[in-house]
Amino acid sequence: MFENSQLRDIVARVEAGQRLSFEDGLRLFESDELYTIGYMADLVRRRKNGRLAYFVVNRHLNPTNVCYARCTLCAYGVTKKDPTAYTYSIEEAVQRARETTSREAITELHIVGGMNPALPWTYYTDLLRALKRELPELHLKAYTAVEIAWLARLTGKGIEGTLELLKEAGLDSLPGGGAEIFDDEIREQICDHKIGSSDWLDVHRAAHKMGLFSNATMLYGHVEQPRHRVDHLIRLRELQDETGGFQAFIPLAFHPEHTQLSRLPGPTGFDDLRTLAISRLLLDNFPHVKAYWIQIGIKLAQVALHFGADDLDGTIVEEKITHAAGATSAVGVPRDDLVGLIRQAGFIPVQRDTVYREIRRWD
């Protein structure tokens, strides 16, 4: 079927279930054979997840946008003097979470925010404790590796010790944010205040060793080159070989508006689909790949289910980080809309919890 394709040797390897190399990854990112790449990603996706497509009924909670870091990629973080600066009290944060549970039975809170120098580390543990006390049924997927490394500096207890404190306070798993691109020269240009790549990986390694699952992301479509993307994906694959603790990979499409990189155009729809599909191919040891509809739009996310994605993330309810950077998607979506989109694309919708246990299936 692909005898005229420049990628036919890669097609043969994928069909045979073989692992792809760095060079294969580069060739895929330099190719415009979207259909061939999509065919391979769909093959792998169906081997792993059959006709199922997952989503979670969740809510994002961003406790503060005050952040000491001035990352050029970010439009969300501000100084405490900025008129849009906010920090929820613990009571306000719990109130926001509670409002949602009464509307749609959410099962997960995704909690990430800025690194606010005015907050003591106990704010982070107190928040988890209060949420667990008031809403014990919710899974708390909280704090990126970047926030955890920042907290470790405040607690003085190291990464493991800090994760122990958070776990004891109610932390259930880690989201995948803050990974950006692992190449340190690119990190210098887009997030020079953030931890280095090896620290990001160390936090996830430590979490996995403690039995906490986590996710991983990659921010693409800014100043990076194809080789930086492939390097990023292969470093994730290596850690997953070691620990097996990653559940899902989420490619994050860069949104330039209101960031210090606003001169850049951001990725195209073609690049969104190609990056998602190549991620599915290189990350052969990740069980799930999410199409994050907040960033690529709900319509392309639906199409992405045929390009390697098996998960549409969730209902979200309120999203601030990508919307600060010009996202035009809705800030949340009702569960039934996700079910309809998945069905129409020819897959079986499965509402899952955070660790991919099935809650309901629409056969």
| Residue from 97, 163, 174 nearest 133 by CA | 97
Instruction: Provide, rounded to whole angstroms, the least separation between the CB of residue 280 and ligand V47.
Output: 16
Smallest distance, ligand V47 to C-beta of residue 235, A:
16
The single residue among 49, 65, 215, 315 that binds ligand V47, judged by CB under 6 A, is: 215
**Which one among 283, 321, 333, 338 touches ligand V47, defined by CB under 6 A?**
321
The residue from 25, 176, 245, 297 that contacts ligand V47 (CB under 6 A) is 176
149 φ/ψ angles, rounded to the nearest 5 degrees:
-65, -35
The minimum distance between CB 255 and ligand V47, in angstroms, equals 4
329 contributes a contact to ligand V47 by CB under 6 A: no
Which residue has the closest beta carbon to ligand V47? 177
What residues pair up with 218 in beta bridges, in sequence order? 251
Single-letter amino acid, residue 98: R
CB of 234 to ligand V47, least distance (A): 19
- Of 186, 123, 177, 168, nearest in space to 145 by CA: 177
Q: Give residues with Cβ within 8 angstroms of 361, minimum separation 6.
A: 52, 348, 349, 350, 351
Q: Which is nearer to ligand V47, 40 or 75 (CB)?
A: 75
d(CA 258, CA 249): 26
The site map against ligand V47 for 51-90 (x = CB under 6 A) is: ----------------------xxx---------------
To ligand V47, the closest distance from the beta carbon of 17 in angstroms equals: 27
CB under 6 A: which stretch of 18-26, 149-157, 170-178, 205-213 binds ligand V47?
Answer: 170-178
Task: Identify which range of 80-88, 118-126, 320-328, 335-343 contacts ligand V47 by CB under 6 A.
Answer: 320-328
Assign 173 to helix, strand or coil: strand
Q: Which CB, 48 or 157, lies closer to ligand V47?
A: 48
Does 107 bind ligand V47 (CB under 6 A)? Our answer is: no
Q: Which of 65, 116, 217, 315 binds ligand V47 (CB under 6 A)?
A: 217
Angle between helices 158-169 and 145-155 (to 10 degrees): 100
Question: How many Å apart are CA 308 and CA 311, to the nearest integer?
Answer: 9
SS3 (DSSP) at 4: coil
Is residue 144 close enough to count as binding ligand V47 by CB under 6 A? yes
CB of 4 to ligand V47, least distance (A): 36
Shortest distance in whole angstroms from residue 181 CB to ligand V47 = 10
Kindly state whether residue 338 participates in binding ligand V47, applying the rule CB under 6 A.
Answer: no
* C-alpha distances out from residue 172 to 207, 256, 278, 303, Å: 10, 32, 29, 31
From 309, 363, 308, 312, select the one nearest 341 (Cα to Cα): 312
Question: What type of residue sits at position 182?
Answer: F
Q: Which of 115, 119, 203, 252 binds ligand V47 (CB under 6 A)?
A: 252
Count residues binding ligand V47 (CB under 6 A). 23
Compute CA distances 1 → 7, 18, 162, whole Å. 12, 19, 53
Q: Would you count residue 301 as binding ligand V47 (CB under 6 A)?
A: no
Query: Where does 156-262 have alpha helices with state H?
Result: 158-169, 184-191, 197-209, 226-243
Residue ranges that bind ligand V47, judged by CB under 6 A? 73-75, 144, 175-178, 180, 215, 217, 219, 250, 252, 254-255, 259, 292, 295, 313, 321-322, 325
